[in-house]
Structure 1
């Protein structure tokens, strides 16, 4: 694992124990996963959740059909009009089973919903975990192959980490000199958190702060550059084309580098376009 391939944050976990000090195997893998929220990657098991829901659903459908059949074949109207005096013991047993099956079905549904709504790991986080596991091989191959599956989820849902953060991280690693990029995102404390010389440790929050700074500069550029162009262009056609391409560029940048929802992309693009239109109207 080269330094230019993976530079990630490994924080000290409980009692200050280094990841490398844990026994190789599940203990060391658990210490690594617990060291940073982005490493908390697990299988989603979407197929198994779907199979479980379908199985419980059909069991309920079977009980539903049995209950309807019992009700339709009931000869004593009083039994259908009173639960307390219902003399059909099969119906009571069936309704008891029905309650248990409904609870199991609801548990399966909401479990599937909770797992389905958890975010997928970023390609960078998956790459970091996979590269670490390939080097240290904490598990036997058959048990380590979970990281190669496509139905992965992450428990790191507290941060708004989008594609732009990954672009910034890769740019720091590949564009800046190695020591400069490492020192920019690390601190004296984080540089001694692991004994592995191939692992670069980032101080939590520095990458996010750098990403925010770059985003701020990009936003300012997206506003100022079109305004400067519009200020120096006087024909209506050129101004119209400048506005169109600026709005398209802004929308694509927001769409490709953030996790903004469709309504947020629409709102931001509309506001951006309004600023340019107002400038043209006032400078006409």
Structure 2
């Protein structure tokens, strides 16, 4: 029995596309994350190799006895004109396989320190706006110190001799714990110190010191806005003033 004729505009992908267009909540696609990352890594390796080829070609052109090739570094139009005549490798380089194994060929220097300002990475939506100086410090010098003393002994922390693996989520949790502990200690320590000081002038001086330190800590340890820092500092100062007023006699 022959299959019934189906209108391609009302069935199959056309119907699915129409439904997704009508109700965007049904528009679900695979992002092919592993393949996308693999493709980017291969393109990165190709570009890195082409960059090295370009450096070599520039040196050859600069050291050449041909005065025309020496002009390539100063006159792009001249270089392009020579390229049209098939006489310039600087303007175009063939893409080829790098080979040599992972991180053993030219791409072994892809993540070298000299390229620190040239790196990019995927940004998670949940982490947007959470960066602050405390987080940067935990991810920087403190993590370097921890790794040099403890972390380097763990095999699971090292991808190879130059690349180390640490969870940003765990580092963020440590930062949150530090901020929570500091927010609890600041008021209680301030009140404890003020309890042992009887002279009013000295109490006021301590209020100024504690309030200033509190404001600096909020600015450095959180990503609070200026208005939020001002409000929190004013509230903290108010607590100290109320305590002083209630115990001044």
After TM superposition, the score normalised by the length of structure 2 is: 0.49
The one of the two structures with greater contact order (alpha-carbon pairs below 8 A, sep at least 6) is 1
For the pair shown, the structure with the greater C-alpha radius of gyration is: 2
Normalised TM-score (structure 1): 0.44
